[in-house]
Structure 1
Amino acid sequence: MTPLTAARVQRRYLLLIGLRWAATGLVLPVSMLIYATRGIDLPTVGLLVALYSGLVVLLELPTGGLADQLGRRRTMLLAGVFLVLAPLCMAFAQVWWQFAIAATASALGRALGSGPVEAWYVDTIRAIDPDVSLRAGLSRGWAVEAFGLGAAATIGGAVPGLVGGLANDGLITPFSISALGAAALAVVSLIAHAVLMTETETATRSGGSVRMAFRTVPTQVLHGVRVAWREPVVRLIVAHGAAIGLFLNSVEMLAPLQFAEMLGGPERAALAYGLLAAGAFLGTAAGAAVAPALCRLLPLSALAVAALVTVAGAAAVGLVGLASAGPGGFALAAAGYLAVYTLTGPAGPLAAEAVHNRVTERERATLVSVESLALQLGGFIGAISVARLAAWAGFVTGWLAATLALVIAASLTVAARRAERRAGKTGKVPAYEFI
C-alpha cells in the first residue's frame, strides 16, 4: 500500500468534507417545502426544529467524547448511517411523528459527525509531520464545506421544478426527489469515509470496544470541558464561537424577513434570497480559502487577522442595518449581506487552527464538539433574544444586535491572541489529569 503523504491526506480530507456537506446542501432548500406539502402547520414545524436543535445541543459533547474514545473513523461511520436515514425518512414522511424520526436521525448524524473528520485530518497529518502548519488545510476544508453546501443547495432547489408528473399529495413529491438525492449522496459519502479514513496506529490502539468507549464517554467529556475552561486560548475561542452563533442565527432570521419587506412580499423575496444565500455560501468559501494568503500579506498573527476580518464583517452588517433604515434600499442590503459572509470567512479556520495548536490527540474531537456546542448555544440565545428585540423595536435594532455580536467576537479573538502570545504559539495542553 502506498504510504500516506501530507498532500494525499489533505486531498482525502477535502473530498470527505465536500461529500458530507453536499449531501446536506441538497435537502436544505426543500425542507420547509416538504413540511408544507405534507400539511404540517408552522407551530409543529417549530417543534420539529426545536427537537433537532435540542438534541444537537444535548449530544454534542457526548459524541465528541465518543470520537476520542471509539476512534474517528468508527464514529464517523456511525454518523454516516444516520445521515443516510435522515433525508430518506424525510422523503417519505407523511405525518408529524415520521418527521420527528427524521429530525432525530438528522440530529444524531450532525452531532456524531461534527468533529471526527477534522480531528482525523489533524491527527493524521501531524503523525506524518509534527511541525506542519494546519492553516492551509483547515482553510481549504472550510472553503470546500461552504462551496459544497452552496452548490448542492442550488441543485437541490432547482430539481423539483425539473421533475414532471409528480403530484404534491403522492408518496413521492417533487420535493422528495431532492431528499432522495441527498440520501443517495450520503451513501456515497459513507462509503468514501469507510475507505479513505485510515487512522494512525495511535488512534487505532486507543479506539477500544464499543461498550468500553461508551462507558468512558463521561470521563472524556469532563476532561475536554476542563481543558476548554482552563486553557485560556481555547476558552476564549469557544466564547468567540458562541458570539458567532448568536450573529449567524440573527442574520438568518432577519435577512429573509427584511428582504421580503424591501421587495414588497415573500413571493418576490424568495428567489432573491435563495440566490443571496447561495452567494453567501460561496463568499464564505472564498473567504476561508484566502485565509493563508491574508496571513502572509498582512504583518499580523493569524488570530489578529481573524479579529480584523471580523471587525470588517461587523461593518458590513452595519450596512444592512443602514439599508433597513431607508438609505440604499435592497441593493445596499444585498451587498452588505454578501460582504458579511465573505469578510468573516477567514476567521473560522484561523480560530480552529489556534485551538488545534493548544490540544492533543487525546481530546481533539471533544474540543471540536465543545466549539460546536458553543456555536449552537449562541444561536439559540440569538433566536430567542434578537427575534423578540426586532419584533419590539424594529429591524434596525436587530441588525445592531448582530453587529454587536461580531464586535464581541472580534474582542474575544484579540484576547485569545494575547493569551497565545503569553503561553507560546504552540504550547502543549496543560497537564490536567485525565480523571
Structure 2
Amino acid sequence: MSESPALRTARRRYLAVSALFWLPIGLAFAPAVLLFTERGMSLTAVAAFFAAHSLTAAALELPTGGLSDVLGRRSVLAAAGLLDVVALMLLGLGSSYAAFAVGMGLKGVARALSSGPGEAWYVDTVQAHSGPDADLRTGLSRGGAATSAALAAGTLVGGAVPWLLGLGPDLGARLSEATGGVVLPLSVPVLAGAAVSIVFVVYVLTMLREPPRKPATPSSVLRGVPATICAGLRLSISELTVRRVLLSAGAAGAALATVELLMPGRAAGLTGTAESGAVLFAALACAGFATSGLGSALAPLAARLTRSGEHAVLAGLGVSAGGLLLLGVTATSSGPLSLVVAVGGFILFYLGLGAASPNENELLHHRVSSEQRATALSVQSLAQQLVYALSGLAVSALPVGPLPWLFGSAALLAGAALWIRRPAPVPAPVARIASASPVDVSGRPGTPPTP
C-alpha cells in the first residue's frame, strides 16, 4: 500500500525538526572549549560548565518527559528552542563565569526538554493515521540520519568559520574591535546557532500540529506529571523489551564515554601536538556523526537482512563492539597498518550504533502508549547519560593502553547479548490518540485509517 501524503508530510517535518534542533549544537561544539579559554576561563572552569550541562539535563530528564506527555509535544519543543536561543546568546556574548555557567545550565534544561517530544510527535501522528502497528523504522532511521547530518555539518562550519575569519585582511580582528571585544571570531558560530534556534521555534509552532488535548491546568500538571513518570518507570522495569532498550542505551553510554574520553589524546599522539590533535579530533567527530547517520539510514535494511528488529539491534551493537575492539588492539601500536585498522574500528563503532538506534526505538514505541511515550524516551536518555558519567570515571581510572577500550567493547557486547533471543510477541498498547479520530498534520480532522 502506498504511503499517504499526510504521512510523508509528517516525516518531512520530523526530519526538519531533528535537523534544526541539532544544527546549533553542532555549530557550537567545535569552538566551545576554545571560546571559553579565550575569554579567560581555566580548564577546571570549562569542566565545571560541561558538568553543569550534564547534571542539569540528567536531573530534568524524567520531569520534562512527563511534562511533554501531559502538556503536549509542540509547546515543550518550542520551550526547548527558546531556552537554546538564550543559552547560545549567553555563551556567544558572555565573558564571565556566571554567564557561561547559566548558559550551559540552560542548555542542559533545553536538552532535557527536547529528548523525546519530536520523536513522540512523529510516532503519534503515524499511529493516528495507520494504527498502532504502523511502520516506524523508516521515519526514525531518517530522523537519526538527519540529526547526524546536522551535527556533522554544524561541526564543520563551526570549526571552519573562526579560521576563515582569520584569513586575508583578518576580519576576525576587525569584528572584535568593532564590537569592543564582545564578539570574537569564535563567537560567530555560536551566535549563528542562536539564529537557527529561532528558526526552529518558528517552525515548531507553525508546522507541528497535534490532536486536541484536554486543557492543562496547574493542578492537572502537578498530578499528571508525577503519575506519568511513575507509570513510565513501572513499564521500564516490568516490560522485557523496554528493559532491553534501556540496558542497551546504558551500554551505548559506556562505549561513547570511552571513545569521547580517549580519542582526543589518541589524536594528539598521532599528530604530535595538542593543537593539531584538536583539529584532527574535530574532523574525526564530524566523520563519526556522518557515519552514524549512514548507519541510521541503513537501519531498515539491517532489519530486513536479519529478519527482525531485535536481531538488527544485536548485529548493530555487535559491529560497534568490534569497532571498539579494533581501536583497543591498536592502542599501543603505530604505523600505517595500525592507523588504517584504528580508522576502520572508529567507522564500525559509529556505523553499528547508528544502525541499532532506530530499530531499538521502533521496538520501544510498539510497547508504550502515547501517554507514556516521551517519558519512556526520557528514561532511555537518562540511562545513557548516567552510565556515560559513571563509565567515564571508570575509564579514567584504568591504565593507558588497550584495557579502557576493551571495557567499552565489553559493555557493548553485553548490550548485544540481551537481544540474542526474541521475546514472545505481545499485543501493542493502544494509545488514546489512536482510538480517536486522526488529525492530519495541518490540524484538520482526518479520515479514519482503512482496515
* TM-score for the superposition, normalised by structure 2: 0.89
Aligned residue in 2 for 1:260: 268
Q: Decide which of 316, 320, 326 is 2:323's aligned counterpart.
A: 316
Aligned residue in 1 for 2:380: 371
Q: Decide which of 144, 153, 156 is 2:155's aligned counterpart.
A: 153
Alignment of 1:383-394 (within 5 A): 383-389=392-398, 393-394=399-400
CA distance in 1, matches of 2:183, 2:15: 33
CA distance in 2, matches of 1:46, 1:271: 20
Query: Could you say what the CA RMSD is over the residues aligned between the two structures, in angstroms?
Result: 1.8
Would the aligned equivalents of 2:366 and 2:428 in 1 still touch at CA under 8 Å?
Answer: yes
Aligned residue in 2 for 1:185: 196
Shift of 1:240: 0.9
Shift of 1:299: 4.3
Alignment of 1:224-239 (within 5 A): 224-239=232-247
- After superposition, the C-alpha distances for 1:4-31 in whole angstroms (9 at most, x for unaligned) are 7111111111111111111211111111
Would the aligned equivalents of 1:119 and 1:365 in 2 still touch at CA under 8 Å?
Answer: yes
CA distance in 2, matches of 1:192, 1:398: 43
Structure 1 unaligned residues grouped into runs of 5+: 431-435
SS in 1 for 2:31: helix
Larger helix percent: 1
Shift of 1:206: 3.9
CA distance in 1, matches of 2:344, 2:274: 19
* Amino acid in the other structure paired with 2:283: L
Q: Decide which of 277, 288, 296 is 2:296's aligned counterpart.
A: 288
Would the aligned equivalents of 1:240 and 1:413 in 2 still touch at CA under 8 Å?
Answer: no
Would the aligned equivalents of 1:246 and 1:402 in 2 still touch at CA under 8 Å?
Answer: yes
CA distance in 2, matches of 1:42, 1:245: 24
Would the aligned equivalents of 1:288 and 1:346 in 2 still touch at CA under 8 Å?
Answer: yes
Shift of 1:210: 5.2
Alignment of 1:48-59 (within 5 A): 48-59=49-60
* TM-score for the superposition, normalised by structure 1: 0.92
CA distance in 2, matches of 1:285, 1:368: 19
Aligned residue in 1 for 2:437: none
Would the aligned equivalents of 1:70 and 1:208 in 2 still touch at CA under 8 Å?
Answer: yes
CA distance in 2, matches of 1:273, 1:329: 17
State percent identity of aligned pairs. Answer: 33
Would the aligned equivalents of 1:263 and 1:330 in 2 still touch at CA under 8 Å?
Answer: no
Deviates more, 1:17-26 or 1:336-345: 336-345
- After superposition, the C-alpha distances for 1:384-421 in whole angstroms (9 at most, x for unaligned) are 111111xxx2131111111111111111233xx533xx
Aligned residue in 2 for 1:12: 13
Shift of 1:344: 2.5
Change in Cα spacing, 1:428 to 1:91, as seen in structure 2 (3 Å) is: same
Q: Decide which of 344, 347, 366 is 2:353's aligned counterpart.
A: 344
SS in 1 for 2:55: helix
Aligned residue in 1 for 2:417: 411
- After superposition, the C-alpha distances for 1:80-105 in whole angstroms (9 at most, x for unaligned) are 11011111110111111110110111
Would the aligned equivalents of 1:358 and 1:429 in 2 still touch at CA under 8 Å?
Answer: no
Would the aligned equivalents of 1:69 and 1:206 in 2 still touch at CA under 8 Å?
Answer: no
Aligned residue in 1 for 2:369: 360
SS in 2 for 1:325: coil
Deviates more, 1:341-350 or 1:167-176: 167-176
Alignment of 1:232-251 (within 5 A): 232-251=240-259
Alignment of 1:13-412 (within 5 A): 13-130=14-131, 131-163=133-165, 164=171, 165-167=174-176, 170-200=181-211, 204-206=212-214, 208-209=216-217, 212-296=220-304, 298-326=305-333, 328-389=337-398, 393-412=399-418
Number of aligned residues = 416
Aligned residue in 2 for 1:433: none
CA distance in 2, matches of 1:109, 1:119: 16
Structure 2 unaligned residues grouped into runs of 5+: 166-170, 432-451
* Amino acid in the other structure paired with 1:326: S
Deviates more, 1:236-245 or 1:59-68: 236-245
